[in-house]
Structure 1
């Protein structure tokens, strides 16, 4: 586009952004085309370009130019908290006043709102969840929509339910787009959108505002050297990482599929002398900030992270990305590895797939839109209530896990069937159609993505070309650098001593199980007279499990044993020995019974088993084996009455699970007599704990029958 004066002004702003005022920085041609479309033509544009291309430069340069021309502030909607922090600092270099509103800074919201009203904010970065927060939607959003000079949708693939990372909160942007004044430009950016997602996003952006300009570039990353290394098991992968981490260039990221795996990996690497930090959904915000700063300043060799790190971390000299386990989508994989090599000539990217990966995919795959019957049940419950219902209150009426229920409500909200208000959710009464065909197509797309990830790990073709083709990059060609193009570059050797250390680390059993302390909301409405705090005299104590099903150590052993189709049988000898080891460690811990300190518990006087419909031999042999090893009497098994439903079934939320358990368990006369003859704490043994309600109900019964304390010991925790 020919406008030399505007181009020169844009290049001057870019120079300020990169910290070289008066320098020779110059926008790329597609960057300039996007800036000109936004500033001069006031258009809507979608930019699909690889990570590191400079998408943020487009919206900051456009913001500076628009603000100089008297237009309102730029609103950037982004899910990436880390990126928000980086971009606030970048904007300041060009004199752009940027602020954020997200879940990490609620104490600043009022001050930011006031600055916006005064016109003192040039850029407001907002997390998508804020768009549907009642106070923000009613008090701040209307003013923003009316005064916005430029709307930016970062990570725009999240708008599309065809994308690998669809987020219902993004659909709220439809309302904001529709409410913008005529001629307000809109920019959407992403590095990971195939042709289907690109078309979907472009259509949503352009609705009622003319055709969207799509600027899509090649996705080649010339600095990345990709490879796949297949090793026998989790211990070999952990040992390989400990042995070869120092050989990887610079500092980087080690991705794991689960929080438990991240914590295990971090602990082992620290034992081996590495300076690493864990970064997961459980990491406190202050610790996340510290971990990010430490990696930016190369004070750590790596962050060991789950997908919680996402794409929001901006470190141009990131030297490597290693995955301990395959993500379920090659598009998601491309997005994560794209963090590396942005500002260096070479970065190493290595995938270490595991046999357990697909089990983890299945474990976290509970994301499909619920069946129509459950959706209609939710709409009816809201319509019948005549008042707002909170999510916990809805749980008592709808058999859906909380996270899935919340996602469904967000989709229904965007579709106009429900509305979020103060106090919860209400029905709008608007007619709603269940699009079964579309939901089925999306589910099939997810299955196809998983199959493509399997193919990536085993392909003999160029790996970068494979990933680019998954993103419909028409210019995809062999890279000449990956292990398939240039030969294997990762040494698979693992010294015996390092492997032995990894085996020992993963063989170490034992995790704490936190007890339930509050009954779910809404139980009286279900005919169950339980509410509020569980009385201290009826609570379960903190317990122990051998491991979590999401572990890369004991989780890999326990998943086959506890699978739905696994045959019932006596507890394996190695599993029983590990349970005894957990019991011994527990006895020596501060809350155990060996130290005899002020916090020590009295030694258990006996063992009680939870009845199992699916694995009675496993649970029974485990309880009796524990009793024999601990020289304790086996006092008996709680009785399953069948009155409340199948208590072993994995119910979808706390209220429904507790409802199913109500009246389902009882203390038989024989067990009551045994408890009376041996007063004191008891060990309560079961195969696994998911929601924790079986243990809570069983403990309440045993405490009411006279047990001093109830100490749960299970094989696995699902969390």
Structure 2
């Protein structure tokens, strides 16, 4: 290409105009990044605000590198394709469409197109693919890692690491799969340019990522977003927050995103707003792919006023004219918050950013923090189980270790990157390599997370400029007062909620009643831990769908239930409360609807049985007594756990371990068995909390085996 930098810049400007329109011009740092990549073949880390144009850098650089060696789609050029590693490929569709306008052809290798891998590899070899998009998870897929990655690394013309803060475990969104990039980097030919991009990296994360890249040019720009008007509204309850939204959503400009902290809150908020006449859709990690794609498209086409989303809608989503972002509940760090609010106001003069924090936010943060990397004892247990020559799948490992699936998979990925285990066809094997548990680093990361949480509380309470506060949290040296936020110029929106709006929200959130779905399949691998159960629960062993007052994560009853049966609810003095009157009323309401609603029980219960509890015996007993009294039903007693068994000692790591602990732990009292034999109808089985659901399942199975024709589970709360 030579070193005629002025000519290269002219070419770069021409490509940018094809990408973004005739009026587009390169920013200074955009050109510095392109120059370093195309002319100097350097490694570059771009830490720039959302909407700055990081994708333009790698698409322009791709076009120039390809043109210099034959041009896109013209034979087999000397410079191979750009490989983009991004965590959210599904949300890059609009970027790919934009690249096509510049004559850049992109392909994707993913789990949904396995039959196209050979074809794509041939196209890469022929030089007809300009950009290959892959997820970080793909880097450690055995077939891809061993069969595709070495050849791909040897021919890559430019490597792009999108959302590069995920590389660092100091970052707010660390992803172990990103550590596989070390292998990719090591396999690149000398002089291969590398671009890492992020909008959310403080000084510590920036230093960590730059160190992993090696000798990188760091281009860090100011993080102000001139279109964003930040504000915080302190409202006293979930009902006030929903009521405020119902009153003011139509005043917010254009369409936008309403973020919630939990899946349950997203569903409730979307449902309530629909009852108030708004066109909204829920978007969570539990939505299937087709629903998420349809919701994205409807928001992009302005068919929705808002998408009510969890953090599942995050990096990569691009709607330049997004008019607002509202948070019902605060994310656990200012850095995560900055990233999410950065979705708004990219191509509009003003966008509203509103935070409506809740008293329950800190409890939700603690729950997610509890899912971090496991303690050393649990890690060592996994390493002892794994063998070097006998792969074990994650489901096969579960019964042998006390970890839930998501946490186990994350731990295995970290161990894989550390070299202690390896993912192969059929599962995981031990490598036999020595491995040290870095407790000091994990402790420092946990302390950093705690500091971030405190900072988020300070953000809500600050008397100073909110944008300046966020920029300082990201170590932006140019942070100054923005002159736009509610602290700089005063609030634009009142905190008052209309009486009709509040009443509607209170009525909506005050409706008690959620379903407890019955278990129908035993966890896999139980026989490996001495439990002779497998496959489906027989029809004569299952409970029917049950009911609970609410979920611990509900916006309505969740707060009240958490104080009574949540993880932090045990009284320090060991006081076990009786059933409170407000919950007694809710219990009766749920039972009435269950008895007479569309999904009513198949027949009226003929008795009540309680599950013996060592944590809250009086609460469970008084709950069963109240149900029996109101329903004029015989109270048949309780099914106790065998002494010493952890029947209700709190949630276990995973379903297999829970079933192993509960198997044989319960026995029906002889007197109860006699009473049951004389009754011919459903039994209400009562407990305080359903967490994994296996305690209720195991006791219901005992009752069914004793001849009870149907079991109707009932609990105050469902975890989650």
**Distance change >3 Å, CA 66–CA 356, structure 1 → 2:** same
Q: Kindly indicate whether the alpha-carbon contact (under 8 Å) linking 2:106 and 2:131 is maintained by their aligned counterparts in 1.
A: yes
SS for the counterpart of 1:450 is helix
**Distance change >3 Å, CA 231–CA 105, structure 1 → 2:** farther
From 126, 131, 140, the counterpart of 2:148? 140
Moved more, 235-244 or 559-568: 559-568
From 561, 578, 586, the counterpart of 1:570? 578
Q: How does 1:276-291 map to 2 (within 5 A)?
A: 276-291=280-295
- The runs of 5 or more residues in structure 2 that have no matched partner are 70-76
Corresponding residue for 1:221? Answer: 225
SS for the counterpart of 2:337 is helix
Cα distance in 2, alignment partners of residues 416 and 372 from structure 1: 16
SS for the counterpart of 1:326 is coil
Deviation at residue 673 of structure 1 after TM alignment: 1.0
**Distance change >3 Å, CA 351–CA 103, structure 1 → 2:** farther
Q: Kindly indicate whether the alpha-carbon contact (under 8 Å) linking 1:253 and 1:304 is maintained by their aligned counterparts in 2.
A: yes
The answer to whether residue 420 in structure 2 is matched with residue 421 in structure 1 is no
Deviation at residue 107 of structure 1 after TM alignment: 7.4
Corresponding residue for 2:73? Answer: none
Cα distance in 2, alignment partners of residues 416 and 679 from structure 1: 60
Q: For residues 634-677 of structure 1, what are the alpha-carbon distances to aligned partners after superposition, in whole Å with 9 as ceiling and x for unaligned?
A: 22211211364344321111121111112111111011111111
**Distance change >3 Å, CA 506–CA 495, structure 1 → 2:** same
**Distance change >3 Å, CA 603–CA 53, structure 1 → 2:** same
Corresponding residue for 1:683? Answer: 684
Corresponding residue for 2:619? Answer: 618
Query: TM-score with structure 2 length normalisation?
Result: 0.95
Deviation at residue 694 of structure 1 after TM alignment: 0.6
Deviation at residue 113 of structure 1 after TM alignment: 5.0
From 318, 322, 325, the counterpart of 2:329? 325
Deviation at residue 98 of structure 1 after TM alignment: 1.1
Q: For residues 379-411 of structure 1, what are the alpha-carbon distances to aligned partners after superposition, in whole Å with 9 as ceiling and x for unaligned?
A: 11103x851111122222211222111111000
From 403, 406, 409, the counterpart of 1:403? 406
**Distance change >3 Å, CA 104–CA 709, structure 1 → 2:** farther
**Distance change >3 Å, CA 670–CA 394, structure 1 → 2:** same
Equivalenced residues, count: 704
Cα distance in 1, alignment partners of residues 316 and 626 from structure 2: 49
Cα distance in 2, alignment partners of residues 380 and 615 from structure 1: 37
Cα distance in 2, alignment partners of residues 258 and 102 from structure 1: 28
Q: For residues 113-161 of structure 1, what are the alpha-carbon distances to aligned partners after superposition, in whole Å with 9 as ceiling and x for unaligned?
A: 5544554321111111111122222222222212211110000000000
The answer to whether residue 267 in structure 2 is matched with residue 260 in structure 1 is no
SS for the counterpart of 2:369 is coil
SS for the counterpart of 1:652 is coil
Q: Kindly indicate whether the alpha-carbon contact (under 8 Å) linking 1:81 and 1:102 is maintained by their aligned counterparts in 2.
A: no
Q: How does 1:236-247 map to 2 (within 5 A)?
A: 236-247=240-251
Q: Kindly indicate whether the alpha-carbon contact (under 8 Å) linking 1:690 and 1:718 is maintained by their aligned counterparts in 2.
A: yes
Q: Kindly indicate whether the alpha-carbon contact (under 8 Å) linking 1:538 and 1:703 is maintained by their aligned counterparts in 2.
A: yes
Deviation at residue 198 of structure 1 after TM alignment: 0.2
**Distance change >3 Å, CA 386–CA 142, structure 1 → 2:** closer
Q: Kindly indicate whether the alpha-carbon contact (under 8 Å) linking 1:84 and 1:100 is maintained by their aligned counterparts in 2.
A: no
Corresponding residue for 1:5? Answer: 7
SS for the counterpart of 1:370 is coil
Q: How does 1:193-204 map to 2 (within 5 A)?
A: 193-204=201-212
- The runs of 5 or more residues in structure 1 that have no matched partner are 594-600
Q: How does 1:513-524 map to 2 (within 5 A)?
A: 513-524=516-527
- Superposed CA RMSD in Å reads 1.6
Corresponding residue for 1:74? Answer: 82
Corresponding residue for 1:596? Answer: none
Q: How does 1:464-543 map to 2 (within 5 A)?
A: 464-543=467-546
SS for the counterpart of 2:26 is coil
Corresponding residue for 2:58? Answer: 59
Corresponding residue for 2:592? Answer: 584
SS for the counterpart of 1:265 is helix
Q: Kindly indicate whether the alpha-carbon contact (under 8 Å) linking 2:615 and 2:648 is maintained by their aligned counterparts in 1.
A: no
Deviation at residue 321 of structure 1 after TM alignment: 0.5
Corresponding residue for 1:597? Answer: none
Cα distance in 1, alignment partners of residues 491 and 104 from structure 2: 47
Cα distance in 2, alignment partners of residues 704 and 123 from structure 1: 61
Corresponding residue for 1:177? Answer: 185
Cα distance in 1, alignment partners of residues 120 and 269 from structure 2: 39
From 152, 157, 165, the counterpart of 2:160? 152
